[in-house]
Structure 1
Amino acid sequence: MLKLALTGNIASGKSTVTALLAAHGATIIDADLLAREAVLPGTVALATIVERFGPSVLQADGTLDRPALRQHVFRDPVARDALNAIVHPAVSRLRDARLADARQRGDAVVISDIPLLFEVGLEHAFDGVILVDALEPERLERLTHDRGLSRDEAQAMIDAQWPSAKKRTGATWIIDNDGPREQLPVRVAELWQTIQALPLRGASADTSL
């Protein structure tokens, strides 16, 4: 089984690339879905979050109020680190279980979608790293225009992650999500052909697509 990671800063187009790779036949393990599962009502992680940030981060039905929690962490690095220390171990356990299931099924290519891959130091746990990138002004426009965020909130979300330039140096492959939209499926198809042709066990050479 080839175990890859896919990452990209917010609004880079990572979810679109993930969907395209799934269509090509990759098994996808989505960190966002795992993060939601990790904080379902009744979990230790959710109870710890409420203890740390207070009951205001819960909705009336007892589920996590993500926008409320976001207000606590995006402008406060200490609070963000505290949240990550709660959630990431729970997500890692769920990811390990999904990887074990994929290995047992005999899945050939398993891609873990991890937005904060480099921030939490997980890049060396995989056979290769795919980075989806886009220029910061374009990502800012996507957050404000497509997602309806204020410019200040969008910029705070961008600033909470490592700059793309730093991540590019650690990626095995880079997909630049710029230019006409029809270019992205072509670049993903080229990447898939590369993945199919090379085992990439411990490779470190960077290639932009």
Structure 2
Amino acid sequence: MIIAGLTGGIASGKSTVSGFLSDAGALIIDADKIAREVVKQSTPGYEAILAVFDRMILLPDGEIDRKRLGDIIFNDPEKKSCLNAIVHPRVLERVNEMVARINTQTPEAVVIMDIPLLLESGLEKNLAEVIVVYVPETIQLERLMRRDGIDERAATARIRSQMPIEQKRNRATIVVDNSGGLSATRKQARAVYSRLKKRAQNPAK
């Protein structure tokens, strides 16, 4: 088994690349999906978040309003730290369980940990590769404005709240350039999968 991390900047196309890697045969561990699961209604994570943020962050059905919660922590670093302290340990526990199960059931698997804040959280240290989906910030800005229907000022603020995309690219061991068309990105993703699969099958090399 080989485990690689996948990350990128907001609106860089990380989810697209994750999909291409999955299509090629990789097993994807989606940190965002797990983060939603560990704070679903009636879970310990849900109760811990309510203790900090109160019921004002709930949707009518009782689930957490992720957009409202995101707006709060975007403007309050202290509350962001509180939320991370609740969510991150639970996500890591679930991730470790999934990795152990895959290692037992599919020892030659290519496992991709899809983690938006991989580098910011320092989670890349024990990974075989760090894959960064890259687009220049100008393209990132344009795509984010179009995707979320926001103006340039709001889009810039969101981009600047993350580690700069150039810095992420410099820390990558593999870069997938997503500034071109989908066919070019798919070709790169398939090449990455082939490279990782060879290493998974020949771990000594």
TM-score, normalised to structure 1, is 0.89
CA displacement, residues 70-126 of structure 1 (integer Å, 9 cap, x when unaligned): 110113322222211111111111111111121121151111100001111101121
Count of aligned positions:
203
| Correspondences of 1:24-35 after superposition (within 5 Å) | 24-35=24-35
Give distance in 1, aligned partners of 2:75 and 2:156.
Answer: 10
Matched, 1:116 2:117: yes
| Greater relative contact order (CA < 8 Å, ≥ 6 in sequence) | 2
| Counterparts in 2 of 1:85 and 1:156: CA distance versus 1, 3 Å | farther
CA displacement, residues 110-146 of structure 1 (integer Å, 9 cap, x when unaligned): 1110000111110112121111111122122222212
Counterpart for residue 12 of structure 2 = 12
Identity of aligned residues (%): 39
Counterpart for residue 96 of structure 2 = 96
Q: Is the 8 A contact 1:74 1:156 kept in 2?
A: no
Across the aligned residues of Structure 1 and Structure 2, the Cα RMSD in angstroms comes to 2.0
Counterpart for residue 38 of structure 1 = 38
Give distance in 2, aligned partners of 1:194 and 1:94.
Answer: 27
CA displacement, residues 149-187 of structure 1 (integer Å, 9 cap, x when unaligned): 343433232122111222223211011111233211111
Q: Structure 1: give runs of 5+ residues left out of the alignment.
A: 204-209
Q: Is the 8 A contact 2:2 2:199 kept in 1?
A: no
| Counterparts in 2 of 1:84 and 1:150: CA distance versus 1, 3 Å | farther
Give distance in 1, aligned partners of 2:187 and 2:177.
Answer: 11
Q: CA deviation at 1:16?
A: 0.5
Counterpart for residue 158 of structure 1 = 159
Counterpart for residue 207 of structure 1 = none
| Correspondences of 1:100-179 after superposition (within 5 Å) | 100-107=100-107, 108-179=109-180
Give distance in 2, aligned partners of 1:121 and 1:19.
Answer: 24
Give distance in 2, aligned partners of 1:148 and 1:110.
Answer: 34
Q: Is the 8 A contact 1:7 1:117 kept in 2?
A: yes
Q: CA deviation at 1:54?
A: 2.3
